[in-house]
């Protein structure tokens, strides 16, 4: 019986189906349209309302272990802020975070906006150890901890840094969070004590997102959850600024959503099949009844 065959199906066939579900979208470049959620629209609108010359703290608190989820949204954040011509202050609380900052600077700012000048339009303040302790200091005294940028240049010699004394003078915090410390710590030690003065949007991994939803819309004005949130926000940025033929760099979240969508559909199908088999078995007479 087909029912008996499904019941006794070797799990290796399921593993093979999952491998195919992931491989086919990658090999054939399958992409699906994205319909942005309200959370993604809130993030987009918060950045969209910035004016030229506003100061934005770009807190890149993620590393290569979470780049798969967070890399595309960081790229989209950087592109959007470049389009708005704001002053970007890059920092990170993770030891490997500087690599992620350099990726955004190299692939977005230097590649697509060569007219932007380091020290006038953007600056890389680099990594400082101390976890949330760093946030507690710079929220009131930025230069008390950051005396130089990542290149070793005295911060008082960098034009865009001269008028900035604390995070409270930033018009927006854009945080990309992959672990501890991340969005939760920025909310607790920067936004909450100065709520109404400091505004913040963030993107985070899928496992972090449920822990951050209670902060919306009070401390967090918008939140992107994992690659799905990145794809939705990416779609908004592409639609507004990049037209019908954007660089593939700005479609990376959409590309990564393909395998995830097909794999999820397969999982849903297997769950439904398993439940159908279970309930049909319950209705079948037992051998003793025969």
State yes or no: pLDDT of 63 exceeds 90: yes
State yes or no: pLDDT of 157 exceeds 60: yes
pLDDT in tens, 216-227: 999 999 999 999
- In the chain the beta strands, taken as DSSP E runs, fall at 55-61, 87-92, 122-127, 172-177, 200-204, 222-225
Task: Read off the pLDDT of each residue in 34-51 and give the average, rounded to a whole number.
Answer: 96
pLDDT in tens, 65-104: 999 999 999 999 999 999 999 999 999 999 999 999 999 9
Task: Read off the pLDDT of each residue in 128-153 and give the average, rounded to a whole number.
Answer: 95
Yes or no: is domain 38-246 CATH 1.10.150? no
Q: What is the pLDDT of residue 279?
A: 84
More confident position, 245 or 286:
245
pLDDT in tens, 175-195: 999 989 999 999 999 999 998
Distance of alpha carbon 167 from alpha carbon 151, whole angstroms: 21
Task: Read off the pLDDT of each residue in 117-141 and give the average, rounded to a whole number.
Answer: 96
State yes or no: pLDDT of 287 exceeds 70: no
Residue 83 CB contacts under 8 Å (≥ 6 apart), including other chains: 237, 241
Q: What is the pLDDT of residue 7?
A: 66
Distance of alpha carbon 247 from alpha carbon 96, whole angstroms: 27
Q: What is the pLDDT of residue 1?
A: 45
What are the domain boundaries of the chain?
Answer: 2-30+255-283, 38-246
More confident position, 212 or 25:
212
What is the overall mean pLDDT for the chain? 92
More confident position, 2 or 127:
127
The distance of Cα 85 from the centroid of its chain, to the nearest Å, equals 21
Task: Read off the pLDDT of each residue in 147-155 and give the average, rounded to a whole number.
Answer: 95
152: left (phi over 0), alpha (psi -120 to 50) or beta: left
Q: What is the pLDDT of residue 258?
A: 86
Q: What is the pLDDT of residue 286?
A: 62
Task: Read off the pLDDT of each residue in 141-151 and give the average, rounded to a whole number.
Answer: 95
pLDDT in tens, 27-41: 888 788 888 999 999
Q: What is the pLDDT of residue 32?
A: 82
Q: What is the pLDDT of residue 261?
A: 86
Q: What is the pTM of this model?
A: 0.89
Q: What is the number of other CB atoms lying within 10 angstroms of the CB of residue 168?
A: 15
């Amino acid at each position: 019986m087909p029912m008996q065959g499904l019941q006794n199906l070797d799990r290796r066939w399921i593993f093979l189906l999952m491998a195919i579900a992931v491989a086919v979208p990658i090999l054939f470049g399958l992409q699906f349209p994205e319909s942005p959620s309200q959370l993604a629209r809130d993030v987009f609108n918060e950045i969209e309302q910035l004016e030229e010359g506003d100061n934005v703290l770009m807190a890149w608190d993620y590393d290569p272990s979470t780049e798969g989820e967070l890399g595309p949204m960081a790229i989209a954040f950087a592109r959007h802020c470049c389009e708005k011509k704001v002053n970007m202050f890059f920092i990170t609380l993770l030891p490997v975070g500087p690599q992620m900052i350099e990726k955004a600077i190299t692939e977005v700012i230097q590649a697509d906006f060569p007219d932007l000048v380091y020290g006038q339009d953007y600056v890389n303040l680099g990594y400082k150890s101390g976890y949330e302790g760093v946030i507690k200091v710079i929220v009131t005294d930025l230069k008390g901890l950051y005396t130089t940028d990542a290149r070793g240049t005295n911060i008082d010699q960098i034009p865009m840094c001269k008028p900035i004394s604390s995070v409270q003078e930033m018009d927006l915090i854009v945080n990309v969070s992959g672990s501890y410390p991340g969005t939760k710590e920025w909310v607790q030690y920067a936004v909450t004590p100065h709520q109404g003065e400091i505004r913040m949007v963030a993107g985070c991994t899928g496992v972090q997102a449920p822990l951050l939803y209670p902060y919306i819309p009070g401390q967090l004005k918008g939140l992107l959850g994992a690659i799905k949130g990145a794809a939705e926000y990416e779609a908004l940025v592409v639609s507004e600024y990049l037209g019908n033929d954007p660089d593939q760099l700005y479609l990376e979240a959409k590309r990564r959503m393909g395998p995830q969508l097909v794999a999820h559909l397969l999982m849903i199908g297997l769950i439904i099949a398993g439940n159908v088999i279970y309930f049909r078995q319950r209705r079948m007479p037992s051998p003793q009844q025969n």
